[in-house]
Structure 1
């Protein structure tokens, strides 16, 4: 019985580690995507400048 509990605990910990790694990877991808999107929007803004608002 104790061995089963230990095995389950190890399995749970490894799942947790994998989940943490994949979560970090997804965050990195999201950050890169947002950065790329921001950069492309900025490039568009330089190419087609928006009319300055008459405030």
Structure 2
């Protein structure tokens, strides 16, 4: 997500382009918890000016 912010990519594009395979085995991944976490991280980085 940090690289996406540096390149000013929209969140949707950054999320689709990310390789999430290392986390797919986690139980909450299936429930889209990864998307919620990624979006919250994106918002936090925006607030911090990253």
Compute the TM-score of the two structures, normalised by the length of structure 2: 0.39
Larger relative contact order, structure 1 or 2 (CA cutoff 8 Å, min sep 6)? 2
Compute the TM-score of the two structures, normalised by the length of structure 1: 0.36
Higher helix share: 1
Which protein is bigger by CA-based radius of gyration? 1
